[in-house]
Amino acid sequence: MSDDDKMPGHPSGGQEPEGVVLTEEQKRRRRARSIAIALVLAALCLLFYAVTIVKLGPAVLIRPL
């Protein structure tokens, strides 16, 4: 394999990469999207908890075991 075949910035140097290799910018954007999704899911958990308490009231905790 010649030097021209090496992937720039790829940790394996001259190893042929498998699949799609993300650029640093793509990795940064994917991480930002993942964090945004995590925050939205956390906010939805809080929302469903709050609505449950509002709709059912404190009695939601009083139930036969």
Check residue 20 for interaction with another protein (CB under 8 A). Answer: yes
Shortest reach from residue 23's CB to another protein, in Å: 7
CB of 60 closer than 8 Å to CB of 52: yes
What DSSP state is assigned to residue 19? S
Residues in the chain: 65
Check residue 50 for interaction with another protein (CB under 8 A). Answer: yes
Among 4, 11, 59, 64, binds another protein (CB under 8 A): 4
Task: Give 7 or 60: the residue with its C-beta nearer to another protein.
Answer: 7
CA angle 32, 35, 41 (to 5 degrees): 145
